[in-house]
Amino acid sequence: MENKKEKTAPNVSVGADTEQPIFKNTKSSISECEENIKSFEEMQREIQLSLDPSYLKAVSMNELFDTQYQSKPPLIDGLLYSGTYIFAGSPKLGKSFLMAQLAYHVSTGTPLWNYTTRKGTVLYLALEDDYRRLQERLYRMFGTESADNLFFSVSASQLGKGLDEQLARFVAEHADTRLIIIDTLQKVREVGGDNYSYANDYQIMARLKSFADTHGLCILLVHHTRKQTADDKFDMISGTSGLLGAADGAFLLQKEKRTGNAATLEVSGRDQQDQKLYLIRNTETLLWELQRAETELWKEPPEPLLDEIAELVMKDKSFWEGSATELVSLIKVEIQPHVITRKLNVLSGRLYAEHGIYYKSNRTHDGRKIRFWKDDTETA
């Protein structure tokens, strides 16, 4: 059982609304595949139902807990997650420098300030720059240290007029793409008199969010703020509330003094706690440096079940397979066999993030089997 690789890998996440179940194991045995092969009649019935305008697809709470959904790791722990985010600030504030900083750290996987960063390919659409200016900026910020998975473009099509296809092709050619920065949103908006209606703003964001969710990556949209102040600072984002309403979150960069180097970065999103970071801009490198955070990051409490799986089940192994009852007999946590699979469906992302252990549950002719394996393991 330890010589064939299983490719399914749960990623870490904080629960996106559009996640899909994991069914990507291409080397499963025939018996394991049988549970996922629907009869022709079942498939025909589902197709007929989907064509019926009165049919509403719904899942029961039982189905919800019995399904392992694909989860996605944050790009930068506590700061940036998969989805679509707005990064707003006044013109000439240093947003593009911070975007280059984010792009560089994600492409290299080096921590940004005190935040753990996961490496991946980055595409930066610097649509208000040219390559000479980019070259000078990056040299001033990072010297000659470069990354072969950080890509730049200073021209792109608009949404609905080729941008969708351009992004899809780039992602197809770079499967590990984690971050796409569009600087600025205004450069890719469709031209039309209805540009600033709530419906149009919401549609633009929903379209980009759909792309991000489908490909499991983050799209970060650089945008401007209005001059008017507001009780809720995020209401200062230019455009209607449709932009923020459809986005997964937003960043707001504001300088304390227009001529100064100190600024605040406020963060709000579905997948992270609200934060306020105090930054200062290095006058030599023009990098943004973290002075302090107003609140400490919330950390998930310890989960004894995951710790015991790592210590008692997988400590000296690279692969384990058995029933839920067999698993319960190996750990000290008191839990019923019928509950443990459901709990692992929810916590599989944390199991991989904290212990490097993958999890999958399959129904076979001999009953439901639980599997654990590590990165370098080859399993059937």
**All structural domains of the chain:** 74-293 (3.40.50.300), 300-374 (3.30.56)
The residues, any chain, with a CB within 8 Å of residue 348's CB and separated by 6 or more, are: 10, 68, 71, 358, 359
Rounded mean pLDDT of 72-83? 89
Rounded mean pLDDT of 322-329? 93
CB 182 within 8 A of CB 154: no
Residue type, 216: G
Q: Give the pLDDT confidence score for residue 39 in this predicted structure.
A: 57
Rounded mean pLDDT of 116-137? 95
* Burial of residue 50 (number of CB atoms within 10 Å: 0-12, 13-18, 19+): exposed
Confidence of residue 11 (pLDDT cuts 50, 70, 90): very low
Statement: residue 77 has pLDDT above 70: yes
Tokens 């937003």 found at:
250
- The answer to which of 104-113, 178-187, 218-227, 293-302 has the lowest mean pLDDT is 293-302
Q: Give the pLDDT confidence score for residue 124 in this predicted structure.
A: 98
Percentage, residues of the chain above pLDDT 90: 51
Residue ranges of the alpha helices (H) in the chain?
30-34, 40-51, 61-66, 95-108, 131-142, 163-173, 198-215, 241-246, 304-308, 324-330, 337-355
Bigger pLDDT: 172 vs 7: 172
**Greatest mean pLDDT range, 123-137, 239-253, 350-364:** 123-137
Tokens 């911070």 found at:
98
- Residues 273 and 276: their CA atoms lie apart, in Å, by 10
Half-sphere exposure at residue 98, Cβ-oriented, CA atoms within 13 angstroms: 24
Confidence of residue 373 (pLDDT cuts 50, 70, 90): very high
Rounded mean pLDDT of 290-298? 84
Confidence of residue 10 (pLDDT cuts 50, 70, 90): very low
CB 285 within 8 A of CB 329: no
Q: pTM above 0.85?
A: no
The residues, any chain, with a CB within 8 Å of residue 135's CB and separated by 6 or more, are: none
Statement: residue 187 has pLDDT above 50: yes
Confidence of residue 192 (pLDDT cuts 50, 70, 90): low
